[in-house]
Amino acid sequence: MKKIVMLLTILAWLSCSAVPAFAQGAEPYHFGFKKSKNGQLPSIAEEGFMSVVQKHQAIFLGDTAKKELYLTFDNGYENGFTADILNLLKEKRVPAAFFVTGHYVQDQPELVKRMAGEGHIVGNHSWSHPDMTQLSAGQIKDELEKVRLAVARVTGRQEMPFVRPPRGIFGDRMLGACRELGYTNVFWSVAYKDWDVKQQKGMDFAYNSVMSQLHPGAVILLHSVSSDNARALGKIIDAARQQGYEFKSLHQMTVKSYR
């Protein structure tokens, strides 16, 4: 009898500890790398996840032989700065991509409408900002489709070709599921810790953090909740252009070999 009880206990423990079938074999990666310095490329090509990124044709930079930049923002919630950012982009004639969550679309439909109306890309950042490597293919589809439909109701745009995995967490199965739904996964090659609204360090810090990492073909990730970003953006755009850089839309990206 004791043996039976022990066996049942072990089976119960294994059942509670088991990884869901859809997650078996998954190896979540965090999109991190050594930053660019002095115009050189960051270490992305040297990272262990590079083969997975390439397999699913995810993008993180454009043509590294050209002085082009791609400006992208993650919009999980509104902190009062996106309207100013949109005003500045309109003034400077700079295209951008805004990756929005379901919360953002529900809370700020007029800003989402402005993004689309002023020629920017509205990208998918998932409905609830989960770790999508822990979701089934069906759950991933639901997360992304809810955002697409919500944006379509606001903007009239039915197509949403770009997605950015929440928190930069990804895996082979997750990227493949997004790709099967018709999305191009978008990462980045320039970023800094700008999302913590309690750790803003001033306009100059934001400016220096971005400018020190610039390199040909860079995809820049900024968070619109950052007051530092909002204040530094105009100076960043002007300084980048003075260095010969051109800001382009992700729609214009021609991906070259990473070298």
> What are the b/e assignments for 88-114, b being 16+ CB within 10 Å?
ebeeeebbbbbbbbbbbbeebeebbeb
**Catalytic (active site) residue 223:** yes
Checking phi first, is residue 16 left (phi over 0); if not, alpha (psi -120 to 50) or beta? alpha
List the chain pLDDT tens, one digit each, 259 residues: 444 333 333 333 333 333 333 344 447 999 999 898 888 889 888 898 999 999 999 999 999 999 999 999 999 999 999 999 999 999 999 999 999 999 999 999 999 999 999 999 999 999 999 999 999 999 999 999 999 999 999 999 999 999 999 999 999 999 999 999 999 999 999 999 999 999 999 999 999 999 999 999 999 999 999 999 999 999 999 999 999 999 999 999 976 545 4
**Catalytic (active site) residue 103:** no
The total of other beta-carbon atoms located within 10 Å of residue 156's CB is 10
Nearest-angstrom CA–CA distance, 70 and 162 = 13
Q: Where are the domains of the chain?
A: 39-252
Residues 56, 74, 120, 228: which is the catalytic one? 74
Residues 125, 172, 223, 228: which is the catalytic one? 223
Q: Give the CATH H-level superfamily of domain 39-252.
A: Glycoside hydrolase/deacetylase (3.20.20.370)
Nearest-angstrom CA–CA distance, 124 and 102 = 9
3-state secondary structure 43-100: CHHHCCCHHHHHHCCCECECCCCCCEEEEEEEECCCCCCHHHHHHHHHHHCCCEEEEE
pLDDT of residue 40: 86
The residue count of the chain comes to 259
Nearest-angstrom CA–CA distance, 61 and 59 = 6
* Residue 204 Cα distances to 201, 228, 238, angstroms: 8, 8, 14
The amino acid sitting at 195 is: W
Cut 0.85: pTM above it: yes
pLDDT of residue 46: 87
pLDDT of residue 5: 36
Name the residue among 91, 89, 151 with its Cα closest to residue 120. 89
